[in-house]
Structure 1
Amino acid sequence: MPRDDAFEFFSVHEGALFRRTVREAFAEHGLEVTLYAQHAADNTGRQFGLGNLAATCHHDDRGRRLWPQLIRRHISVLLRTLDGPSALDTMPAEQLLRRVYPRIVDSDLLDRGHFGYARPLTPGLCEVLALDLPDSVMLLNDESLEPLGGVHALRAQAVRNLRSLPVEGHEAVEQDDGQRFHVVMGDSFFTASRVLVLDELVQQVTGRPLGPDGALVAMPFRHQLVFHPIEDISVIASLGGIARYAAAGHEDAVGPVSPHLFWWRAGELVQLSELDEGTLTVTVGADFQDVLERLAEQAEGGREG
Structure 2
Amino acid sequence: MSTSTTGQIYPLNRDQSAELVRLSTAAVAAAGIAVTWDGGHTLETTDEGGPVLGLSNLARTLASQDKKDWPGLVVEHFAVVLEQLRQGAPAAPADPERQLIQRLIPRAALPADWTADRPDFVPGLVSVPSVVSESSVTMYLDPPAGLGLTWSAAEGFGLANLRGLTCDVEYIDHDDMRVAVVTGSPSAASKALTLDDVLENCLNVDASKYGVLAALPARDALMIHVIEDLTVIPALGFLLGAATRYFHAAPSPFTPDVYRVTPDQTWHPATATRPGRATQLLSAHMADLVQEIAAREAMNAAWRE
Q: TM-score, normalised by structure 2?
A: 0.75
C-alpha separation in 2, matches of 1:114 and 1:11: 26
Q: TM-score, normalised by structure 1?
A: 0.75
Does 2:76 match 1:93? no
> Secondary structure of the equivalent of 1:75?
helix
Does 2:79 match 1:76? yes
Contact 1:145 1:151 survives alignment (8 Å)? no
| Matched letter for residue 292 of structure 1 | V
Contact 1:51 1:254 survives alignment (8 Å)? no
What do you get for the CA RMSD once the two structures are aligned?
3.8
Does 2:55 match 1:50? yes
C-alpha separation in 2, matches of 1:236 and 1:139: 38
Query: Cα deviations across residues 33-75 of structure 1 (Å, max 9, x unaligned)?
Result: 7899865566659653322123245569xx9999788655642
Per-residue deviation, 1:163 = 0.8
- Classify 1:161/1:59 alpha carbon distance in 2 versus 1 (closer, same or farther; 3 Å): farther
Query: Cα deviations across residues 124-152 of structure 1 (Å, max 9, x unaligned)?
Result: 43322222233222221226556342112
> Secondary structure of the equivalent of 1:279?
coil
Query: Cα deviations across residues 227-259 of structure 1 (Å, max 9, x unaligned)?
Result: 111112211111122122223322354222222
- Classify 1:110/1:66 alpha carbon distance in 2 versus 1 (closer, same or farther; 3 Å): closer
Contact 1:181 1:228 survives alignment (8 Å)? yes
Worse-matched range after superposition: 15-24 or 291-300: 15-24
Worse-matched range after superposition: 25-34 or 212-221: 25-34
- What residue in structure 1 maps to residue 266 of structure 2? 268
Consecutive unaligned residues of structure 2, counting only runs of 5 or more, are: 1-6
- What residue in structure 2 maps to residue 164 of structure 1? 164
Contact 1:199 1:209 survives alignment (8 Å)? no
Per-residue deviation, 1:219 = 0.7
C-alpha separation in 1, matches of 2:182 and 2:69: 28
| Matched letter for residue 210 of structure 1 | A
| Matched letter for residue 172 of structure 2 | V
Consecutive unaligned residues of structure 1, counting only runs of 5 or more, are: none
- What residue in structure 2 maps to residue 210 of structure 1? 207
Contact 1:121 1:127 survives alignment (8 Å)? yes
C-alpha separation in 2, matches of 1:147 and 1:204: 30
Contact 2:143 2:149 survives alignment (8 Å)? no
Contact 1:128 1:140 survives alignment (8 Å)? yes
Contact 2:257 2:269 survives alignment (8 Å)? yes
C-alpha separation in 1, matches of 2:172 and 2:111: 38
